[in-house]
Structure 1
Amino acid sequence: MMRKQLNKRVWWVTGAAAIAALALFVLWAIFSRQSVIEVRVADVADSDSLVCYFVEPNFQLRWIHSVEKQWWEEQYLREADGLLLTTTYFQAFGAGTPSTENVAPIKKEGYVGYQINQRFPHLNWVVSRLTQGEIDYAGQRILIHQLVLDYSEVTIMPKAYSPIDRFNKDFCHELPSDGSQ
């Protein structure tokens, strides 16, 4: 009789511990957040929209300037309340090029670089096949111009995702770079 009561008590304690663990997991899934960079495009070839994310705080936008036909690069850092444009590099120096800023501390061969340090709440970036826009981060190169229709607006913003949000969205590097779905 005593053994039967002990087994019953063990089952109750085990069940209560399992329910408590499940409740803690659900609360964690609902309330925990991870800072990410979200990339969003409203109109994508053969689809309604594209939303992907990456967790690295540093990234770079690259494109070919429409007038000089040379590569431009902008380096960004994710902050709690927005994005910080840290430096810009370009191969050609022409009208509209920032020239009053401090020279970038890191030199890139073949480029002129300036330290900018300007904050933005988010970025709206128009890309096309002519400008060959791409997003580079953590050794990944996303050829965004191949994934979207010409002259699509790409919105890049810092966000905080819950684990549930992360299951519903793709990492940007998991998207095919050739534009196929």
Structure 2
Amino acid sequence: MRQNPQRRTALLDAAIEVLAREGSRGLTLRAVDKEAAVPTGTASNYFRNRDELLSQVMTRTNERLTPDPDELAATMAAPPSQALVVTLMRRLVERMRTDRSSHLAMLELRLEGTRRPELKAELTRVFTELLEANIKWHLDAGLPGDRTSVLLLYLAGSGFMVEDLTLPDFLAPYDLDGLLQALVERTLPASAEPAAAR
């Protein structure tokens, strides 16, 4: 059966909304049909089963969370420095807050992966590839720090996002910009910056 790529994307976006709102137990092909406002049975024409849907939701979520190339290029016009890393961290938080559904869906996928070995293996592969790509991008861009520094920033950023997504009032009393700046400054000391950036 011929499939419409735009319809597939709409179904995956609907699945992300269901997953974010209802959790993995609420994610059924019928629930996706209802969220996408399409006839019952439409999703089953695009996805053989729930496992395939979960796998493709992961791919679609990564697409939605990828920074806009033009915006990233404009940000990266600044010289490599701690300040630029702080800006990149701020943009990451902005994207997370703009598309909370994708981040919540990814958290749900991680939880589902603890119960489904195949999904866990796929999540591990995808996140490993993304982390390695981010480390390479950071280092190739001449930003301060080394592999370990980038990993620490990733782990701290992930922790912040979990708190902000699940218990936003918990972090409300704190100055976010100040925390991000302190995180970068303590993880990437000024002495680690390239000489041209100092």
TM-score (norm 1): 0.21
Q: Counting helix residues as a fraction of each chain, which structure ranks higher? A: 2
TM-score (norm 2): 0.20
Q: Counting strand residues as a fraction of each chain, which structure ranks higher? A: 1
The structure having more radius of gyration, on CA atoms, is 1
